């Protein structure tokens, strides 16, 4: 058997209303905090106000950085890191979806050093400010893993990176915060969870631990992905999706992602207005077809977890039924889309195919079926 190591030091708190406990939790780390959030959702819903109150009640001095955009840029991260350094802030709190949470981890690293955050792609970081994540989407799993994804707007590159010092100290998962997600955000982030579980479960680097997380996440997805979209106020469905997201985040922390993510990052890197989950939606069915032969047994197992009836189906038919089911899930989420619908220009496909290797090479390596640039370009064309 292969040797393996697993490590994840994040203390996870799950429960409705838990954001009110942040002050007490944060006090362990510092008397000052940089709150990293997006431009409007957390302000409009009053969530940022609630966070500021619990911090102030605990005697923590908060500074708010609220310029993080979806698909965050290195300029935003470097600017916020500069503020943290200048004000000698001792703690970073990410509040929002994957974009602010990823940024909070990158800011925590950049604030400790004196080089631009982009340089950390090549220079491993050994230390970072402590980070607390408060997640508002059930999607990326960023709340519980070490990864950060950032875009260089000059080159359109969108790589991910993650060092051991980047694990959040604590993650607060409060499903109440997720109730305000608009339908499109619920659909795209929820589908991101599906793809994480799918890629972590089938990837070459999977092991018993990541698979265990995936199994439970599949069950939760089966009953709650479409429900949370159709019944946005259903706190139980929201909570179960939040759990699925965290389980999936733990799974990809162990065993990474595959070709769907490898291709999606350059898509939203070149088109920052495309939501990560929407890019995934356009690419998933064709990528599953591409991987079918290499992971037929896994597809059958997942089909079983999704409650697809075997009745009289051959192995090939049963594995193939998972791809049909995925198409049905996408349709139910109103995400039956191609890259063209998302505004991707056909002339850009070759550039995107190349960048899947230069910025997300490890994810291509992890894919069950081997793929070169030619195959990736073909997948992009089929997903157009």
The residues binding ligand NZQ (CB under 6 A) are 38-42, 45, 70-71, 96-100, 102, 136-137, 139-142, 145, 147, 149, 177-178, 180-182, 185, 189, 192, 249, 252, 261, 276-277
147 binds, among ligand NZQ, Mn ion, none (CB under 5 to 8 A by kind): ligand NZQ
Q: How far is the CB of 196 from ligand NZQ (least distance, A)?
A: 6
Cα(335)–Cα(348) distance, integer angstroms: 22
If the CB atoms of residues 300 and 329 are measured against ligand NZQ, the closer one turns out to be 329
Q: How far is the CB of 96 from Mn ion (least distance, A)?
A: 16
State the Cα–Cα distance between residues 245 and 8, nearest whole angstrom.
Answer: 16
Nearer Cβ to ligand NZQ (291/359): 359
Q: For CA atoms 352, 358, 362, 368, give the dihedral sign.
A: positive
Contact 366, 205 (CB under 8 A): yes
Task: Report, in Å, the least distance between residue 158 CB and Mn ion.
Answer: 12
> Residue 258 or 320: which CB sits closer to ligand NZQ?
258
* Residue 168 contacts residue 143 (beta carbons within 8 Å): yes
Query: CA dihedral in degrees (63, 143, 172, 104; nearest 10)?
Result: -10
Rounded to whole angstroms, the Cα distance separating 94 from 92 reads 6
Give the residue with the Cβ less far from ligand NZQ, 102 or 298: 102
CB of 162 to ligand NZQ, least distance (A): 8
Residues of this chain that interact with Mn ion (CB under 5 A) are 192
CA distance 98 to 62: 21
What is d(CA 384, CA 379) in angstroms, rounded to the nearest whole number?
Answer: 9
- Could you tell which of Mn ion, ligand NZQ, none binds residue 246, using a CB distance below 5 to 8 A set by kind? none
C-beta closer to ligand NZQ: residue 300 or 367: 367
Q: CB-wise, 170 or 192, nearer to Mn ion?
A: 192
Q: Encoding tokens for residue 227?
A: 């429900």
Nearer to ligand NZQ, 220 or 319 (CB): 220
173 binds, among Mn ion, ligand NZQ, none (CB under 5 to 8 A by kind): none
Among 319, 332, 141, CA closest to 222 = 332
Roughly how many angstroms between the first and final C-alpha of the chain, as a whole number? 41
> What is the nearest approach in angstroms of ligand NZQ to the Cβ of residue 130?
17
CB 49 within 8 A of CB 209: no
Q: Which residue is nearest to Mn ion (CB)?
A: 192
Give the nearest distance from C-beta 248 to Mn ion in angstroms.
9
With 0-12 CB in 10 A as exposed, 13-18 as middle and 19+ as buried, what is 208? exposed
Residue 185 vs 329, nearer CB to ligand NZQ: 185
Q: Cβ distance 260 to 283 under 8 Å?
A: yes
- CB 189, min distance to Mn ion, A: 9
* Partner from ligand NZQ, Mn ion, none contacting 142, C-beta within 5 to 8 A by type: ligand NZQ
d(CA 47, CA 180): 10
Buried/exposed 213-240: b ≥16 CB within 10 Å, e otherwise: bbbbbbbbbbebbbbbbeebebeebbbb
| Residue 71 interacting entry, from Mn ion, ligand NZQ, none, C-beta within 5 to 8 Å by type | ligand NZQ
Could you tell which of ligand NZQ, Mn ion, none binds residue 99, using a CB distance below 5 to 8 A set by kind?
ligand NZQ
CB of 275: closest distance to ligand NZQ in angstroms?
Answer: 6
* 149 binds, options Mn ion, ligand NZQ, none, Cβ within 5 to 8 A by partner type: ligand NZQ
Using CA atoms, how far apart are residues 133 and 106, in angstroms rounded to an integer?
13
């Amino acid at each position: 058997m292969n040797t393996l190591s697993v490590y994840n030091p994040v203390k996870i708190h799950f429960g409705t209303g838990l954001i009110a406990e942040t002050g007490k939790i944060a006090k362990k780390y510092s008397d000052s905090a940089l709150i990293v959030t997006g431009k409007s959702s957390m302000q409009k819903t009053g969530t940022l106000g609630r966070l500021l109150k619990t911090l102030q009640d605990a005697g923590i001095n908060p500074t708010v950085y609220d310029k993080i955009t979806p698909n965050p840029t290195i300029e935003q991260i470097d600017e916020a890191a500069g503020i943290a350094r200048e004000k000698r802030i001792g703690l970073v709190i990410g509040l929002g979806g994957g974009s602010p949470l990823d940024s909070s981890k990158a800011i925590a690293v950049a604030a400790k050093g004196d080089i631009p955050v982009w340089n950390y792609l090549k220079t491993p970081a050994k230390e970072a400010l402590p980070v607390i994540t408060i997640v508002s989407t059930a999607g990326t799993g960023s709340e519980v893993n070490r990864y950060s994804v950032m875009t260089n707007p000059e080159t359109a590159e969108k790589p991910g990176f993650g060092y051991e010092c980047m694990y959040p100290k604590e993650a607060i998962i409060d499903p109440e915060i997720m109730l305000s997600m608009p339908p499109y955000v619920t659909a795209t982030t929820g589908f991101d969870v599906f793809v994480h579980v799918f890629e972590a479960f089938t990837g070459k680097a999977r092991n018993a631990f990541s698979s265990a997380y995936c199994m439970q996440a599949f069950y939760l997805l089966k009953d709650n992905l479409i429900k949370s979209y159709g019944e946005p106020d259903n706190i139980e469905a929201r909570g179960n999706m939040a759990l699925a997201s965290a389980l999936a985040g733990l799974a990809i922390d162990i065993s990474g992602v595959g070709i769907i993510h490898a291709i999606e990052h350059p898509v939203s890197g070149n088109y920052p207005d495309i939501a990560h989950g929407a890019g995934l939606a356009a690419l998933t069915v064709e990528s599953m077809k591409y991987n079918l032969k290499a992971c037929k047994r896994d597809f059958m197992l997942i089909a079983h977890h999704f409650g697809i009836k075997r009745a009289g189906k051959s192995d090939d038919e049963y594995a193939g039924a998972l791809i049909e089911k995925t198409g049905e899930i996408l349709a139910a989420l109103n995400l039956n889309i191609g890259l063209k619908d998302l505004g991707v220009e056909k002339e850009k496909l070759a550039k995107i195919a190349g960048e899947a290797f230069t910025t997300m090479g490890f994810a291509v390596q992890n894919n069950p079926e081997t793929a070169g640039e030619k195959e990736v370009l073909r997948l992009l064309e089929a997903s157009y």
